[in-house]
Amino acid sequence: MTGDYRWVESFDDLIRAIDCTFAQTGRPVEVACRVDTGDGAGADGSAGGAAIGFTMAAGAADCLDLAGALPDEAVGELRHLLTSPRIRLRGANFKSEMVWLAARLGIACSNFAFDALLAGSLLDENRANSLAAYARLYAALDADTEDGDDARQKLLRRLGRAVDAVFQAAVAIRGELLASPALAHFYVTLLHPASQAFARLERRGVVASRERFEALRVELEGEDGRGGALADLDRQVLALLPGRLRMKYADNLSVRPAMLRDFFFGTAGLHLKPRMVTPRHGEPSTAKAHLAMFHDVPEAAAMVTLLEARSSAAKMLSAYVKGFLKHLHPDGRFHPAYMLFAGRADDGDESGGGTVTGRTSARDPAIQTVPKRGTWAKKLRRCFVAPPGMAIWSADAAQGELKIAACLADEANMLAAYRAGLDLHAVTGASMMDMPTDAFMALAADVRDREKMERFELGRFKAKACNFGLLYGMQARGFVRYAWQTFKMVLSEAQAQEMIDRFFATYPGLLDWHEAARKQARRDGAVANPFGRVRHLPWIRAQDRQIASRAERQAINAPVQSTLSDLTCWALSEIDRQIPEAQPCAMIHDAIVGYCPEDRADEIGRQIVEVASTLPIETLCGWRPQLAFTFDHEHGPDMGSMVKMKA
Instruction: Compute the distance between CA of residue 623 and CA of residue 414 in angstroms, rounded to an integer.
Output: 19
pLDDT band at residue 147, thresholds of 50, 70 and 90?
low
Helix, strand, coil shares of the chain, percent, nearest 5, are 55, 15, 35
State mean pLDDT over 412-432: 93
Instruction: For the domain covering 4-179, report its CATH number.
Output: 3.30.420.10
**Residue 567 in this model has a pLDDT that exceeds 90:** yes
Among 14-23, 45-54, 484-493, the range of highest mean pLDDT: 14-23
**Residue 350 in this model has a pLDDT that exceeds 50:** no
pLDDT of residue 345: 54
**Residue 386 in this model has a pLDDT that exceeds 70:** yes
Domains of the chain by residue range: 4-179, 209-327, 336-399+529-647, 412-507
pLDDT band at residue 443, thresholds of 50, 70 and 90?
confident
Instruction: Compute the distance between CA of residue 289 and CA of residue 310 in angstroms, rounded to an integer.
Output: 14
The answer, as to whether pTM is greater than 0.85, is: yes
Question: 354 or 554, which is more confident?
Answer: 554
pLDDT of residue 343: 74
pLDDT of residue 452: 85
**Residue 347 in this model has a pLDDT that exceeds 70:** no
State mean pLDDT over 58-79: 93
E strand map for 461-504: none
State mean pLDDT over 198-226: 93
How does pLDDT run across 467-509, given as a tens digit for each residue?
998 999 888 988 888 888 888 788 888 999 999 999 999 999 9
State mean pLDDT over 448-469: 86
**Residue 143 in this model has a pLDDT that exceeds 80:** no
State mean pLDDT over 555-569: 95
Instruction: Compute the distance between CA of residue 370 and CA of residue 375 in angstroms, rounded to an integer.
Output: 13
How does pLDDT run across 220-247, given as a tens digit for each residue?
999 876 789 999 999 999 999 999 999 9
The DSSP line for 80-99 is HHHH-TTEEEEESSHHHHHH
**Residue 1 in this model has a pLDDT that exceeds 80:** no
**Residue 346 in this model has a pLDDT that exceeds 90:** no
CA distances from 572 to 200, 201, 578 (A): 11, 10, 10
Spatial CA neighbour of 389 closest among 642, 602, 636, 597: 597
State mean pLDDT over 41-48: 43
CATH of 336-399+529-647, one of 3.30.70.370, 3.10.450.50, 3.10.580.10, 1.10.287.4070: 3.30.70.370
**Residue 128 in this model has a pLDDT that exceeds 90:** no
State mean pLDDT over 337-359: 71
Reported as type and span, the H/E element at residue 377 is helix 377-381
Contact (Cβ atoms closer than 8 angstroms) between residue 314 and residue 374 = no
Question: What are the strands of the beta sheet with 29-36, ordered from one edge?
Answer: 4-7, 60-65, 51-55, 29-36, 87-91, 112-115
Instruction: Compute the distance between CA of residue 156 and CA of residue 151 in angstroms, rounded to an integer.
Output: 9
Contact (Cβ atoms closer than 8 angstroms) between residue 476 and residue 493 = yes
pLDDT of residue 643: 93
Instruction: Compute the distance between CA of residue 259 and CA of residue 241 in angstroms, rounded to an integer.
Output: 9
Mean per-residue pLDDT of the chain: 91
**Residue 45 in this model has a pLDDT that exceeds 50:** no
**Residue 349 in this model has a pLDDT that exceeds 50:** no
Instruction: Compute the distance between CA of residue 213 and CA of residue 609 in angstroms, rounded to an integer.
Output: 31
State mean pLDDT over 40-61: 73
| CA-CA-CA-CA dihedral for 398, 401, 403, 404, to nearest 10 | 130
Burial degree of 150 (CB within 10 A; 0-12, 13-18, 19+): exposed
pLDDT of residue 43: 43
Whether domain 209-327 has CATH 2.60.40.3470: no
pLDDT of residue 408: 97
Contact (Cβ atoms closer than 8 angstroms) between residue 114 and residue 120 = no
State mean pLDDT over 125-131: 90
**Residue 642 in this model has a pLDDT that exceeds 50:** yes
**Residue 95 in this model has a pLDDT that exceeds 50:** yes
Instruction: Compute the distance between CA of residue 401 and CA of residue 567 in angstroms, rounded to an integer.
Output: 11
**Distance of alpha carbon 582 from the chain centroid:** 21
Point out the least confidently predicted range of 393-407, 481-495, 499-513, 543-557: 481-495
Greatest CA separation for the chain: 89
